[in-house]
């Protein structure tokens, strides 16, 4: 299936902005979290996608590997990815710019799940130099080697920002609990092995008052059923509707803010 064919079925990116287990003190005020994230009750929510097998995830990852091998020498796709991430970040900035500001008195700790093999994620585009970024991805980091020199210069400029790239599946981050102020996961959850475990890990590593930015392709119910029944889509093991996403986040301890 081509990208163009896939886009016939998806709605625009389903943008969510959440924070851990919020008390109701105002829509965007900092909040403390309490308690532990709750485990998914798959029987409670009708049509909640089941966790895929390891072999199915390996198929998706092989497609991802081939995709990034193409992107590193495809200037059009390289620019499309950066533009798409910039648009997503700008939506957050337009609604609540204070969320993207680092904490006072210390560098902000930011985490991006599925940052991509090129090491440029949504949070790589933050304006403030006071963020320190950790990027998680199951694929090894690569460098562009077939794009024009001006795009190579752009890439080098973006990579000047501090980045710790960790090649690891996000289901087990291996990071200290309550250690990040901001987390992002853009166009990733439907590519993963276990999105529920990833959300639990994000909740665990966020500090009280931290925020989570989620961007995700969402299908209307009719197209979701068409995909499930008739369409083979190797890079996307999961198909989510907005209905699914509305329940994914609260069930892991998050409250959706916008």
Q: What is the pLDDT along the chain (258 residues), one digit of tens a residue?
A: 443 443 333 333 334 445 454 332 222 223 333 344 444 444 443 456 688 789 888 999 999 999 999 999 999 999 999 999 999 999 999 988 888 988 888 889 999 999 999 999 999 999 888 899 999 999 999 999 889 999 999 999 999 888 999 999 999 999 999 999 999 999 998 889 999 999 999 999 999 889 999 988 766 555 545 555 445 667 777 777 777 777 778 777 787 777
CB-based burial label for 148 (10 Å; 0-12, 13-18, 19+): exposed
- Calculate the average pLDDT of the chain: 78
Radius of gyration of the chain (CA): 18
Specify the DSSP class assigned to residue 22. Answer: -
| pLDDT at residue number 239 | 76
Characterize 48-79 residue by residue with b for buried, 16 or more Cβ atoms within 10 angstroms of its Cβ, and e for exposed.
bbebbeeeebeebbeebeebbeebbebeebbe
How far, rounded to the nearest angstrom, does the alpha carbon of residue 59 sit from its chain's CA centroid? 20
State the maximum Cα–Cα separation within the chain, in Å, rounded to a whole number.
Answer: 54
From CA 78, how far away is CA 75, in angstroms rounded?
5
pLDDT per residue as tens digits for the range 41-87: 444 434 566 887 898 889 999 999 999 999 999 999 999 999 999 99
> Domain spans of the chain?
3-14+42-183+211-223+235-256
pLDDT per residue as tens digits for the range 87-106: 999 999 998 888 898 888 88
């Amino acid at each position: 299936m081509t990208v163009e064919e896939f886009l016939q079925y998806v709605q625009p990116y389903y943008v969510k902005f959440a924070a851990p287990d919020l008390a109701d003190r105002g829509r965007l005020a900092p909040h403390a979290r309490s308690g532990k994230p709750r485990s998914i009750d798959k029987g409670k929510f009708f049509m909640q996608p089941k966790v895929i097998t390891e072999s199915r995830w390996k198929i998706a990852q092989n497609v991802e590997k081939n995709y990034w091998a193409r992107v590193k020498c495809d200037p059009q796709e390289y620019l499309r990815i950066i533009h798409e991430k910039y648009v997503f970040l700008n939506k957050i900035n337009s609604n609540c710019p204070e969320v993207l500001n680092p904490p006072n008195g210390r560098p902000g700790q930011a985490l991006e799940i599925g940052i991509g093999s090129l090491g440029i994620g949504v949070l790589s585009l933050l304006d403030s130099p006071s963020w320190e970024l950790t990027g998680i991805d199951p694929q090894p980091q690569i460098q562009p080697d077939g794009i024009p020199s001006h795009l190579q210069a752009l890439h080098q400029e973006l990579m000047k920002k501090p980045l710790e790239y960790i090649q690891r599946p996000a289901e087990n981050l291996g990071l200290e609990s309550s250690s990040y102020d901001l987390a992002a996961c853009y166009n990733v959850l439907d590519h993963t092995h276990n999105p529920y475990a990833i959300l639990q890990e994000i909740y665990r590593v966020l500090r009280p008052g931290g925020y989570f930015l989620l961007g995700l392709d969402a299908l209307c119910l009719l197209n979701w059923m068409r995909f499930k029944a008739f369409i083979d889509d190797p890079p996307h093991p999961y198909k989510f509707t907005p209905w699914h996403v509305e329940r994914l986040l609260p069930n892991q301890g998050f409250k959706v803010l916008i």
